[in-house]
Chain A
Amino acid sequence: MPVTTISGTIVFTDIVGFTQLTDEHGDDIALTLLERQEVLVRRALPDGGRVVKELGDGLLLWFDDPCDAITTALELQRSFEGESDDDLPMWVRIGMHFGCPRARGDDIVGRDVNLASRITDLAAPGEVLCSEATATEAGDLPGVGFEPLGPVFVRGIAEPVPLVRAFAVD
């Protein structure tokens, strides 16, 4: 299989509480959550964005354009909040990193993919966290604010990585 290096933004979504909900309420709940997530994500994807693969209760996404990645992630959080109800909370955290992973077929692998995943671990439900590299690459985005959170140490990465929180500005 040919391997190439590509440049773009790696995005992870992760449903918080998925295991607990499934454990307490059964597999049908799990399927409902996954289907809701996938429908909303596929509906929101712009040209240049795609689902790379499903990862249990999350998705790995790819965006050619970091601006699209950020605005789509914020739009998704609004959609998830709209879909969430008291019976079935749709708590999703989103993290991303702009980098140059290796493309192997439709899949992407490498340090930058791992970093995007670690960034997602630090996000709260409803939040979008980005590496500073992503925000820098995107530049000024209408309707989007960035709050620096400082450098973070992440497992498997030698140096701390500057992190920002992206948020919608009314």
Chain B
Amino acid sequence: MSETTARLRITRRSGKVRVRVEPGAPVAVDGGTLHQNDDGTVDVRAHGSSVLEVRCPTGTDLTISTASGAVDVEGDAGSVKVTTKSGNLSIERATAVDARGASGRVEVGVCTGDCHVVFVSGNVHIGEAAKATVATVSGKIEVDEVDDAEVKTVSGNIKLGANGGGHLAARSISGSVKISLPAGSRPATRLKAVSGHIRCECEPGHDGEVRAATVSGAISVRCR
């Protein structure tokens, strides 16, 4: 299999999928088969019930589809798209992420581009992202370092650590919203808690924008 292969489509109904992205690694699979398509993509299909292990070179774009089972992507991947009904998801580093599912914990280490996560239930944690777009029904949403973010949850709590100067929008119906900004930040703010408490430590200004709203939760914006 050529090292220039850059797009993998991994499909497995149930069972764990582990992808190891390594510099110069040839595409290889343990527990499945590879099929090269005319459009340059490589299809990976699992066999049996053991862990599906895939190796591929740094920067590979991944599309992973499962019904159930954990998905673990280690290393420096390109764009990563994952759909699952249930199962935990872990992505160490990617240029872009689109992850969708019904239930499971989502962990993204670093996403240098857009990190888009849509899960019904389960906690979502993103270490770093240029832009985070997250929607859940329930479950905690935490983003440690982000430039821009648009986060919505029905009943989960939201915690955003912003790099400052970007646009942040966090909305929850019954959860709380906590946003921390770099010391000295002076963002434009629009904060609305219909029945909850609002606390904002930042001086108003035009250093980015912070919009937060909850119907029955509390809002806190502070400079760290």
Contacts and interface: CB of A to CB of B under 8 A. Distances in A.
Contact of B192 (A21, A86, A151, A160): A86
Interface stretch (A41-49, A71-79, A108-116, A118-126): A118-126
Nearest to B175: A20
Interface residues of B, number: 33
B63 A150 contact: yes
Interface of A is mostly: loop
Interface string A129-154: 00000000000000000011111111
B173 A17 contact: yes
Q: Which of B67, B118, B173, B213 has the most CB of A within 10 A?
A: B173
A53 B194 CA distance: 33
Contacts of B67: 153
Contacts of B216: 24
A130 to B, nearest CB: 14
B135 A150 contact: no
Interface residues of A, number: 27
A92 B100 CA distance: 17
B135 A124 contact: yes
Contacts of B84: 153
A115 to B, nearest CB: 14
A89 B173 contact: yes
A125 B64 contact: no
B194 A149 contact: no
Nearest to B194: A87
A163 B98 CA distance: 12
B83 A163 contact: yes
Q: Closest 10 interchain pairs by CB?
A: A150-B63, A153-B67, A124-B135, A86-B192, A86-B213, A17-B154, A152-B83, A124-B118, A151-B65, A17-B173
